[in-house]
Amino acid sequence: MQDSLRQRFERLALRLAELDATLADPVVASDAKRFRELAREHAEATDLVTLYRRHGERERDLASAEALLAESAGEAEMAAMAEEEAAAARADVARIEGELQTALLPRDPDDHRDVFLEIRAGAGGDESALWAGDIARMYLRFAEQRGFKVELVSENASDLGGYKEWIGRIVGDDVYATLKFESGGHRVQRVPATETQGRIHTSACTVAVLAEADEAEEATLNPADLRIDTFRASGAGGQHVNKTDSAIRITHLPTGIVAECQDDRSQHRNKAKAMAVLLARLREKDRSARAATEAATRKSLVGTGDRSDRIRTYNFAQGRVTDHRIGLTLYRLQAVLDGDLGELVGALQAAQAAEQLAALESGGGR
């Protein structure tokens, strides 16, 4: 391992000791926001320092095995044992060093954030809305498997049971890090339920994953830039019809970005949710602008997150899912639609890490 890397991990070990002391301070414990931030840093530092110390242990094991091997001249059985131990230790040292290098790659500052997940039907009429419903259920099942909490923000259902639009808030550990590569166009090739002649149709929906803004960011908005409208929420009829103007629509006048919420019967809570969605969309607008600038000088392996990108195709006839950004095809379509997205998510995260490592090694890292 390079000396510079060792020095970074030694500094991290010192920082971990500082965090241990800081988190034990009652004053810090009384500040919930600061305590959460420090606890998150502590958890990340603990994982890295533990891995670094394991690397040191295996380095010492390797040195001992090599010393034993040098002393075992003429003792075939002892030499064989020493060589086997040296080979295992050498492999562990290389593997752990690779993990440590990957762990030191710059993290997206939004990775720990909760998200707003927006799904919209695209071209394809009723079939596109049905597909948007299937994609929404896929993410709901995935969230359940990961222990994430999902809160409905708004939905616009189609007559056949799908969605013209579905927006939800997903809360949990590193939700944005897990879902950020899902933004884009999701294309389906299948025989629609509305097709009478058995012909395969192609339709699509778009997915946007927006990192939730901090509450403090709301203070940066100029009230004069906002138009807030109230209206009566649509309902399924009967007792569920909202008889008051509790639904909220907020328009950011400088950009024309609009957010609305009608899920709750409380106008106050709907306004808070709509404001949170608006802030997330404004943050995403800035993020997309920065990504476009970076993409002009460096092609990104997993895309810029542009919602117009066709990122994935779900082919029912062949039972396959293909992610076009990394060329990965899985022949387990139903499992994926049932929420088993782990392999796709892991592959996309690994692809990003590999790209970052290549950029660093070529001198292109920042």
* 304 pLDDT higher than 90: no
3 state SS for 82-133: HHHHHHHHHHHHHHHHHHHHHHCCCCCCCCCCCEEEEEEECCCHHHHHHHHH
Q: At what angle do helices 3-23 and 76-103 cross, to 10 degrees?
A: 70
Q: Among candidates 257, 122, 269, 309, which has minimal Cα distance to 203?
A: 122
Residues sharing a CB contact under 8 Å with residue 290, sequence separation 6 or more, in sequence order: none
* 238 pLDDT higher than 50: no
Burial string for 159-197 (b: 16+ CB within 10 Å, else e) reads eeebbbbbbbbbebebbbbbbbbbbbbbbbbbebeeeee
Query: Exposure of 247 by Cβ count < 10 A (0-12 exposed, 13-18 middle, 19+ buried)?
Result: buried
Q: Among candidates 187, 176, 124, 175, which has minimal Cα distance to 314?
A: 187
If asked whether residues 247 and 317 sit together in one domain, one would say yes
Q: Which residue, 57, 75, 103, sits at the end of a domain?
A: 103
Interval 254-270: pLDDT, tens: 999 999 888 777 888 88
CA 117 – CA 130 distance, rounded (Å) = 17
If asked whether residues 11 and 152 sit together in one domain, one would say no
| CATH code: domain of residue 27 | 1.20.58
If asked whether residues 195 and 218 sit together in one domain, one would say yes
Determine, yes or no, domain membership for 365.
no
H/E element holding 140? Answer: helix 125-146
Q: Which residue, 40, 74, 103, sits at the end of a domain?
A: 103
Determine, yes or no, domain membership for 345.
yes
Residues sharing a CB contact under 8 Å with residue 278, sequence separation 6 or more, in sequence order: 250, 252, 257, 258, 259
Average pLDDT for 20-37: 89
Higher-confidence residue of 334 and 223: namely 334
If asked whether residues 256 and 137 sit together in one domain, one would say yes
Q: Work out how many domains the chain is built from and give that number.
A: 2
| CATH code: domain of residue 146 | 3.30.70.1660
pTM for the structure as a whole: 0.69
* 189 pLDDT higher than 60: yes
Enter the tokens of residue 162: 């799908």
Average pLDDT for 31-36: 87
Task: Please give the pLDDT value at position 1.
Answer: 75
Determine, yes or no, domain membership for 313.
yes
With H, G, I as helix, E, B as strand and everything else as coil, classify residue 309.
Answer: coil
With H, G, I as helix, E, B as strand and everything else as coil, classify residue 286.
Answer: helix
If asked whether residues 99 and 159 sit together in one domain, one would say no
* 235 pLDDT higher than 80: no
Domain that holds residue 189: 115-357
Interval 122-168: pLDDT, tens: 876 788 999 999 999 999 999 999 999 999 988 888 888 899 999 99
Average pLDDT for 202-229: 84
Strands 184-190 and 201-211 turn out to be antiparallel
If asked whether residues 60 and 194 sit together in one domain, one would say no
R_g (Cα) of the chain, nearest Å: 26
